[in-house]
Amino acid sequence: MNESVRMIVVLAVIAMVSGGVLSFVYDWTGAIIAENQLRQMESSVFEVLPGAVRVEPLGTAPSTLVQDDPETSREVEQTTTQIFVGFDAQDKALGYAFVGEGPGYGGAVRILVGVDGESGEILNLAVLNHAETPGLGSKIEEASFRNQFKGKTLDDPIAIGRDIDGISGATVSSRAVAEAVRRGFADAAAAYERSR
């Protein structure tokens, strides 16, 4: 009996200390991790919206930026997880960038698309993260593939085999990118129009 009590007490104490330490470290690092992700997202937005010097997420104040969380977006079947508006040096809205997600070969492919606010043309596209096969599917990161999306508007089909050439040997990955663009484009454009 005494032995069992001791076993339970020791295990419980170790587990409690472990939980305490972890929640402390989690609190401490949580803010830094969030900050890092934010910085990274910002620099990606600058990349797809040339000329922008300031970024603001659509509909929320800068201080309450929503975290980029693929889990929650998938549950509610959103077409785009986040929309950002880019401003130039004169604080004039240049255009917007949206995060799109398509089903790839090793998991979801997440991309960021920058769109010109005036013409509605895609300015640039960046791959945020993917788990595609190195050497095959990972070629979606290459400029020669991404550049095909430049200049496309909502009126274009944006589909592999129609106006976009897929990467040979990586059809699923190429399709995932095109689908990610298509899924989010209309909603993001509508949201941007409403905001102005």
Partner 1 sequence: MGALIKDFLNGIWNDNPTFRLQIGLCPVLAVTSTALNGVGMGLATTFVLMCSSILISILRNVIPEKVRIPCYIIVIATFSTVVDLVMHAMLPDLHRVLGIFIPLIVVNCILMGRAEAYASKKPVIYAAFDGLGMGIGFTWALTLIGAVREMLGAGSLFGVQLVSDTAATFGVFSLPPGAFITVGLLIAGMNMISTRLRKAS
Partner 2 sequence: MELFLIFIGAVFVNNFVLVRFLGICPFMGVSKQTETALGMGAATTFVMVVTAALTWLLQWYVLEPFGLPFLQTPVFILVIASMVQLVEMFLHKTSPGLYRALGIYLPLITTNCAVLGFSLIAVQGAYSFIQSLIFGLGAGIGFTIALMLMAGIREELRFADVPKPLAGTGIAFIIAGLLSLAFSGFAGLV
Residues in binding contact with partner 2, number by CB under 8 A: 19
Answer yes or no whether residue 150 interacts with partner 1 by CB under 8 A: no
From the list partner 2, partner 1, none, partner contacted by residue 14 (C-beta under 5 to 8 A by kind): partner 1
Residue of 83, 85, 160, 172 interacting with partner 2 (CB under 8 A) = 172
What is the closest distance, in whole angstroms, from the C-beta atom of residue 113 to partner 1 in the complex?
Answer: 21
Number of Cβ within a 10 Å radius of residue 28:
9
Task: Identify whether the C-beta of residue 64 lies closer than 8 Å to the C-beta of residue 33.
Answer: no
Among 138, 124, 123, CA closest to 174: 138
Scanning 17-25, 55-63, 92-100, 157-165 for contacts with partner 1 by CB under 8 A, the matching segment is: 17-25
**CB atoms closer than 10 angstroms to residue 42:** 17
Q: Which does 58 bind (CB under 5 to 8 A by kind): partner 2, partner 1, none?
A: none
By CB under 8 A, residue 62 contacts partner 2: no
* Closest by CA position to 121, among listed 48, 68, 17: 48
Q: Is 105 in the site for partner 2 (CB under 8 A)?
A: yes
| Of 183, 196, 195, the residue nearest 154 (C-alpha) | 183
- CB 69, min distance to partner 2, A: 11
Question: What's the CA dihedral at 38, 42, 43, 48 to 10 degrees?
Answer: 140
Which residues bind to partner 1, rule: CB under 8 A?
3, 6-7, 10-11, 14-15, 18, 21-22, 25-26, 29, 32-33, 36-37, 40, 129, 134-135
